Amino acid sequence: MIDDIKIKLKQVAAIVDGNKNLLKYKLGISNEQDEKVFAARRKVCNACPFRSATDKCIKCGCPLGAKTRTNKTNCPEGYWKTN
């Protein structure tokens, strides 16, 4: 039970971080190198068989808009990893 809670909290932290990075992008204050990484991840996820019709990862349940824009998590299938 405690381990499940820890995993969910880690997922939430990654989603919050991804949304923070999306906001930075929209405000024009994002890091150019990070944006290249995020774009490459998004390209991979867009072609992934585990991408749902609602733009979520079927494997972990994360929204891809946030998941691809964080450096706090990896692809559950190993298609991309954080630095």
pTM of the model: 0.85
The DSSP symbol for 57 reads: B
Provide φ and ψ at 53, rounded to 5°: -65, -20
Residue-wise pLDDT for 23-63, tens only, equals 999 999 999 999 999 999 999 999 999 999 999 999 999 99
Q: Residues 74, 83: contact at Cβ < 8 Å?
A: no
